[in-house]
Amino acid sequence: MFPRTLGLIFWMAVAAITGYWMNPTTGPVLGAFFVCLFTVIKDLWKGQKIAKWLRHNNVQDPPEMGGIWGDLIDRMRRILNEQRKQTQNEQQRLQDFLLAIQASPNGVVLLDPEGRIEWCNQTAAQHLGMDAKRDLMQHVVHLVRDPVFKKYLTSDGHEGEVVIDGRSASLQKTVKLSVQLHSYGESRQLLLTRDVTAVAHADAMRRDFVANVSHEIRTPLTVMSGFIETLQSLQLDAEERDKYLGLMAVQAERMQDLVNDLLILSQLEGSTLPSTNDPVSLDGLMAGIESEARGLSMAQLRSGEEPQILHFESSPGVQLLGASKELHSAVANLVNNAVRYTPAGGLISALWTLLPDQRIQFSVVDTGPGIASEHLPRLTERFYRVDRSRSRESGGTGLGLAITKHVMQRHGGELKIESELGKGSRFILIFPASRVSTQAH
């Protein structure tokens, strides 16, 4: 500033002296005036050039100027550059933030004070059946018409959460959503959605399970307490007494079987996966299962009936790597079922086959009543029975196949069921090659 002022005074002095030389009366004033005018016009022209540069917002290409104007342009360019970088950084952060919310497994919707959708992520759009772009600024109640949600939205304080049906729910597929509202900023609201289908399903299953267990235990208990009352109130002879005590023993055994199977299931759920370092000899396993099955077959044989024909075949020298108790339950459940459901004189054949890809397969085939195809997918559900009275009569708990399936999952194997009504059944277990050892130990 100082050199520029000095420069202006110098040129005014030069012009005044030149003017005096040309006309001593008006020359100095006119000379100084013209210098001032020239300086003002030059500055106006430069100012306009700078204004044009700023208008076009081309920070990278500033007009070339020296002196105070050049200095000014340089400072402005630096400020503008910094602002631009800051804006870019903020935009990047906003983008990252939105991408993070997009990646969230939960739905997020931002509502304005009138309840209109300002922004929502894809998950929320999918949960609530909205279009993340098209439905912006739509009122949320026009899109989510569930009365429970409407009531929750209009309630004071939006306490807790509500569970509503998701938009992709259908008769075959239920989708349950947990919805929560939180206030933020100036009367804005954050709507969070979470898919709780699995939790709701697990909850329903737990409730069903408790109801089923209670029912299964109550039935033998009721029968037993009836017998106890009879024994207490009636004078019975020794023979009748023995008969009642025998019937009570059957009910007690039923409860015991049920509790045993429940314990097996809870152990399967709570324990770590079976190791692959414990070899279980198929010969040993099958010897135990065969004698159990033959005993069961004899026990259920009534006088005059033809005995069942049982055929067992092991795979000599083969060992399964896994938990021996679990493997015993899985296989024994299938063999015992075949014995229990096959009528007298029927054929039951159980055999192990080493498959070419080193997996091993166990199959038990019977000539029993067979199972209609609609029941097959549900057989491994807990307490699912095709014929309740037949199952109970033969001492079934309704948990056998559930246990077998669970054991197979824990050993990386699978359970397959093939059956046709009236033509018998075939239950197959397939163990992966990693659970098979053919070396002698």
Phi, psi (degrees; rounded to nearest 5) at 160: 60, -140
**DSSP-derived 3-state class of residue 203:** helix
The token duo for 331 is 């296989």
In angstroms, give the least distance from the CB of 310 to ligand ADP: 13
Residue span binding ligand ADP (CB under 6 A) among the ranges 27-35, 81-89, 165-173, 336-344: 336-344
Side-chain half-sphere CA neighbours of 18 within 13 A: 12
The token duo for 9 is 């005074």
Closer residue to ligand ADP (CB): 176 or 254: 254
Bridge partners, residue 429, by sequence: 362, 415
Question: Is residue 369 a contact residue for ligand ADP (CB under 6 A)?
Answer: yes
The token duo for 335 is 């063999």
The sign of the torsion formed by the CA atoms of 39, 40, 42, 43 equals positive
In angstroms, give the least distance from the CB of 258 to ligand ADP: 9
Burial (CB count <10 Å: 0-12, 13-18, 19+), residue 116: middle
- The contacts of residue 28 (CB under 8 Å, 6+ apart) are 16, 17, 19, 20
The conformation of residue 157, written as its DSSP 8-state character, comes to: T
Question: Is residue 329 a contact residue for ligand ADP (CB under 6 A)?
Answer: no
Cα of 392 vs its chain's centroid, Å: 37
Question: Is residue 366 a contact residue for ligand ADP (CB under 6 A)?
Answer: yes
The token duo for 318 is 């083969």
Q: CA nearest 147: which of 136, 138, 159, 155?
A: 155
Question: Is residue 297 a contact residue for ligand ADP (CB under 6 A)?
Answer: no
Question: Is residue 418 a contact residue for ligand ADP (CB under 6 A)?
Answer: no
The C-alpha atoms of residue 255 and residue 219 are separated, in whole angstroms, by: 9
In angstroms, give the least distance from the CB of 269 to ligand ADP: 16
In angstroms, give the least distance from the CB of 268 to ligand ADP: 14
Question: Is residue 341 a contact residue for ligand ADP (CB under 6 A)?
Answer: yes
Residues 227/244, Cβ–Cβ less than 8 Å: yes
Closer residue to ligand ADP (CB): 189 or 397: 397
In angstroms, give the least distance from the CB of 93 to ligand ADP: 57
The C-alpha atoms of residue 441 and residue 433 are separated, in whole angstroms, by: 17
Give the residue, chosen from 308, 319, 337, 367, that forms a contact with ligand ADP under the rule CB under 6 A. 337
Question: Is residue 398 a contact residue for ligand ADP (CB under 6 A)?
Answer: yes
The C-alpha atoms of residue 71 and residue 69 are separated, in whole angstroms, by: 5
Residue span binding ligand ADP (CB under 6 A) among the ranges 38-46, 165-173, 277-285, 385-393: 385-393
Question: Is residue 425 a contact residue for ligand ADP (CB under 6 A)?
Answer: yes
Question: Is residue 368 a contact residue for ligand ADP (CB under 6 A)?
Answer: yes
Give the residue, chosen from 166, 322, 396, 413, that forms a contact with ligand ADP under the rule CB under 6 A. 396
Question: Is residue 401 a contact residue for ligand ADP (CB under 6 A)?
Answer: yes
How many binding residues for ligand ADP (CB under 6 A)? 22
In angstroms, give the least distance from the CB of 421 to ligand ADP: 10
Question: Is residue 400 a contact residue for ligand ADP (CB under 6 A)?
Answer: yes
In angstroms, give the least distance from the CB of 401 to ligand ADP: 3
Closer residue to ligand ADP (CB): 35 or 399: 399
**DSSP-derived 3-state class of residue 139:** strand
Bridge partners, residue 437, by sequence: 319
The C-alpha atoms of residue 359 and residue 437 are separated, in whole angstroms, by: 10
Residue span binding ligand ADP (CB under 6 A) among the ranges 190-198, 223-231, 351-359, 394-402: 394-402
The C-alpha atoms of residue 235 and residue 262 are separated, in whole angstroms, by: 38
In angstroms, give the least distance from the CB of 346 to ligand ADP: 10
Residue span binding ligand ADP (CB under 6 A) among the ranges 69-77, 98-106, 128-136, 334-342: 334-342
Closer residue to ligand ADP (CB): 19 or 369: 369
Task: Give me the residues that bind ligand ADP (CB under 6 A), please.
Answer: 333, 337-338, 341, 366, 368-369, 371, 379, 384-387, 391, 396-402, 425
